[in-house]
Structure 1
């Protein structure tokens, strides 16, 4: 099967574009649907809980699956499962049968498929491109995500929802189906051990991660649970990945505590019509696009450590503005600035993970990282819903602003530019999957690649 005109990376790019279009449509239509069914802040926030609960339940198995199964197949199956789920939801709405529980179920099942797709997709670029091209490739992927997922999709989803509640879900299902078709254009992406026998899957100049780790020999067969434990061990012993994960988890916790209530803030205290909600999701995308495209120039100048501080403090200031202000332009400007900082940090994080982790462990380590980072989201959403019910919508935003600012002090201060650069330049040493406890030398490699980063200070990472 031939690849897309831009090569294998072009096929991945197209698949992610269609998938993000569907996500963007649903990002506006799902909250609007639940807001038409209830005005209870806790029930509305429950949608976010249902959406991100799968990251606690199936993330680690999804990571192990990404290192065992052809990653192309995961993208195809996951996107088609989401297409089928939302098509059924659209049919139920067409039949005028709507219930919050039904929406929760559809979002939860889609979240389970999303964990599979996202873990596999994040582990694919190092198989298609040399390390030197990863930062530019990640910038393109995240810029496309920002444009479509938060700039095009939400306004379109809100507009379609205004026409008919089912229209946005039918369109989202179609976009997921196209994402699966685009993924079929990818080459076979077998586990690294299999590629040693079948040869490279991409272009002549692709980076072959398995070649770096030939000195370790082929991995002995292991069970599924053992695979998960090895991935978790590699993540946890990598001091920098662990520290950045907790910083990102704090950012996501407080972001989720406000994100689930945003639709109520817009349609309540701000007094805007439901059709305007899409713009509160879309306008920050302009900042995310700028951050994604300029990351390669900006981050080297200010450093990854400073980027981590910005990713925490800028959203904290934004939550304060949203909680105190009555001005829509000022609120949108604050969200725009927070998106710039978050996007810059997201590029730093993804590039670091792909550069520091060997391919045969990348799916599992990514899953372990995201278990911490995205596992904080449902707890944040539940906290925000409880605060919104007890204290009011604006109070929940102000609490998030104070909480994130306080959390940034101990967490962001332990992330330094030097540690980030050292980890990205270090050889990608793998933990041999057939052994129990790594040797002292192996622990030194796993802890950051060159020396003890605990003495020199940590690094940063976002989701």
Structure 2
């Protein structure tokens, strides 16, 4: 059953953006390792990409509640297209320096805070509440398939031919994503957001504080944020070192690296597609446990095993668990937060969750330099398992259902 033409436009915009992200996901670390093999500098790429989530998340959430969300997606993708276009020019001029790559990744990450915060608030405007899980499942399945499977595979293959080619393609795809977003209907602030017409610095700060207060005082949202933040902390600590582990002890070649990181994405696609049936069957509470414990086990296997097949199997199931949790969390936010606060509350949530990424990447790089990549993976697996024991037990299926029934978003009727 269709979710409407407007949702399809959103799906196209996000899909094109995800494809470009996937190309970059493989190409950036491969380009980085041609410049340095220092674990701290390699992990620094993740810091540069996600540091903007600490700096700009709350302001971007305020923007999503105050101006047309469609235009935020348009201009955010334009900025990313320009950023990687400039990187291409430096490669053409043979100016290969790690600092330039850091700057390009930081600019793209800054624009991503705008696009992603806005995009996550759009589905309640386009579909009914009863269709939210299906809509989110479709978006996350597309993201997983393209961003983590198709994109990295193509990115590694294109990089093997030419670094210029892969980053030129990425810039072009971001430009097309901006064009697709431009065809969406206007999504101005809701009538109940009385601050939408006032843009003085003091009013913007007050608006940000209001959204943060709503998020922080919503105990379940706060708990879920700390769980997801813990998952991201240890995921980023290991993610920056994965290219060193894969191309080193595991013996994965540059041309096969895209396949190596893409195979687990099949699990993420499956998890996204089955979420609408699996989550109601087992409950959102157990999903939070799986989302932490299964990746924790995969990190230990990555650190101790030299068997590529075994590593891929564990990464595959970790991706399924993570995808299920994404659907649970996104649906909770969209169903339990009023639309006029959704951008700011989402930004507060993502400040915790994605703000953990640069911190984890920095710690992972330091541990990698001190202990080596393999031992770092084992340490991170142990740490994530302990975090699950502390946080996951506080989130139950009953609490999730009650939160969704307490507040309903003031969404407009779906636009065909």
TM range (shorter): over 0.9
Equivalence for 2:256: 276
Deviation, 1:428, is 3.3
- In the alignment, the residues of structure 2 paired with residue 242 and residue 98 of structure 1 have an alpha-carbon distance, to the nearest angstrom, of 42
Equivalence for 1:47: 45
Deviation, 1:165, is 1.1
CA contact (8 A) 2:295 2:381 kept: yes
Mapping 1:121-200, distance limit 5 Å = 121-193=119-191
- In the alignment, the residues of structure 2 paired with residue 66 and residue 348 of structure 1 have an alpha-carbon distance, to the nearest angstrom, of 22
Q: Structure 1 pair 219/87, CA: closer, same or farther in 2 (3 Å)?
A: closer
Deviation, 1:363, is 0.4
Q: Structure 1 pair 429/279, CA: closer, same or farther in 2 (3 Å)?
A: closer
- In the alignment, the residues of structure 2 paired with residue 378 and residue 151 of structure 1 have an alpha-carbon distance, to the nearest angstrom, of 23
- In the alignment, the residues of structure 1 paired with residue 272 and residue 353 of structure 2 have an alpha-carbon distance, to the nearest angstrom, of 20
Q: Structure 1 pair 219/92, CA: closer, same or farther in 2 (3 Å)?
A: closer
Gaps of 5+ in 2: 411-416
Question: Alignment RMSD, CA only?
Answer: 1.5
- In the alignment, the residues of structure 2 paired with residue 273 and residue 410 of structure 1 have an alpha-carbon distance, to the nearest angstrom, of 39
Aligned pair partner of 1:86 in 62, 84, 87:
84
Greater share of residues in helix: 2
- In the alignment, the residues of structure 2 paired with residue 339 and residue 275 of structure 1 have an alpha-carbon distance, to the nearest angstrom, of 22
Residue 245 (str. 1) matches residue 220 (str. 2) = no
Q: Structure 1 pair 38/219, CA: closer, same or farther in 2 (3 Å)?
A: closer
- In the alignment, the residues of structure 1 paired with residue 206 and residue 258 of structure 2 have an alpha-carbon distance, to the nearest angstrom, of 44
- In the alignment, the residues of structure 1 paired with residue 122 and residue 136 of structure 2 have an alpha-carbon distance, to the nearest angstrom, of 11
Equivalence for 2:404: 424
Equivalence for 1:37: 35
Equivalence for 2:357: 377
Equivalence for 2:203: 223
Mapping 1:399-414, distance limit 5 Å = 399-414=379-394
- In the alignment, the residues of structure 1 paired with residue 203 and residue 407 of structure 2 have an alpha-carbon distance, to the nearest angstrom, of 27
Gaps of 5+ in 1: 194-209, 211-216, 431-463
The number of aligned residues is 405
- In the alignment, the residues of structure 1 paired with residue 178 and residue 158 of structure 2 have an alpha-carbon distance, to the nearest angstrom, of 23
Deviation, 1:427, is 2.4
Deviations, residues 372-399 of structure 1 (Å, cap 9, x unaligned): 0000000100111001100111011001
Deviation, 1:270, is 1.0
Higher mean alpha-carbon deviation, 44-53 vs 184-193, is at 184-193
Aligned pair partner of 1:299 in 273, 279, 295:
279
- In the alignment, the residues of structure 2 paired with residue 404 and residue 135 of structure 1 have an alpha-carbon distance, to the nearest angstrom, of 27
Equivalence for 1:19: 17
Q: Structure 1 pair 38/416, CA: closer, same or farther in 2 (3 Å)?
A: same
Larger radius of gyration: 1
Deviation, 1:274, is 1.3
- In the alignment, the residues of structure 1 paired with residue 261 and residue 59 of structure 2 have an alpha-carbon distance, to the nearest angstrom, of 31
- In the alignment, the residues of structure 1 paired with residue 285 and residue 257 of structure 2 have an alpha-carbon distance, to the nearest angstrom, of 34
- In the alignment, the residues of structure 2 paired with residue 186 and residue 243 of structure 1 have an alpha-carbon distance, to the nearest angstrom, of 34
Deviation, 1:276, is 1.6
- In the alignment, the residues of structure 1 paired with residue 152 and residue 82 of structure 2 have an alpha-carbon distance, to the nearest angstrom, of 21
- In the alignment, the residues of structure 1 paired with residue 224 and residue 242 of structure 2 have an alpha-carbon distance, to the nearest angstrom, of 27
- In the alignment, the residues of structure 2 paired with residue 278 and residue 167 of structure 1 have an alpha-carbon distance, to the nearest angstrom, of 16
- In the alignment, the residues of structure 2 paired with residue 410 and residue 180 of structure 1 have an alpha-carbon distance, to the nearest angstrom, of 41
Mapping 1:359-370, distance limit 5 Å = 359-370=339-350
Structure 2 counterpart SS, 1:428: coil
Equivalence for 1:324: 304
Structure 2 counterpart SS, 1:334: helix
Deviation, 1:6, is 4.5
Deviation, 1:280, is 2.4
Structure 2 counterpart SS, 1:96: coil
Deviations, residues 248-297 of structure 1 (Å, cap 9, x unaligned): 10000000000000000011111221122112221111000110000011
Equivalence for 2:105: 107
Q: Structure 1 pair 103/81, CA: closer, same or farther in 2 (3 Å)?
A: same
Deviation, 1:5, is 11
Equivalence for 1:457: none
- In the alignment, the residues of structure 2 paired with residue 219 and residue 62 of structure 1 have an alpha-carbon distance, to the nearest angstrom, of 16
Equivalence for 1:393: 373
Q: TM-score, normalised by structure 2?
A: 0.95
Equivalence for 1:337: 317
- In the alignment, the residues of structure 2 paired with residue 377 and residue 141 of structure 1 have an alpha-carbon distance, to the nearest angstrom, of 22
- In the alignment, the residues of structure 2 paired with residue 249 and residue 313 of structure 1 have an alpha-carbon distance, to the nearest angstrom, of 14
CA contact (8 A) 2:225 2:353 kept: yes
CA contact (8 A) 2:149 2:261 kept: yes
Residue 288 (str. 1) matches residue 286 (str. 2) = no
Deviation, 1:27, is 0.2
- In the alignment, the residues of structure 2 paired with residue 218 and residue 89 of structure 1 have an alpha-carbon distance, to the nearest angstrom, of 42
Structure 1 counterpart SS, 2:78: helix
CA contact (8 A) 2:117 2:347 kept: yes
- In the alignment, the residues of structure 1 paired with residue 405 and residue 194 of structure 2 have an alpha-carbon distance, to the nearest angstrom, of 24
- In the alignment, the residues of structure 1 paired with residue 409 and residue 70 of structure 2 have an alpha-carbon distance, to the nearest angstrom, of 25
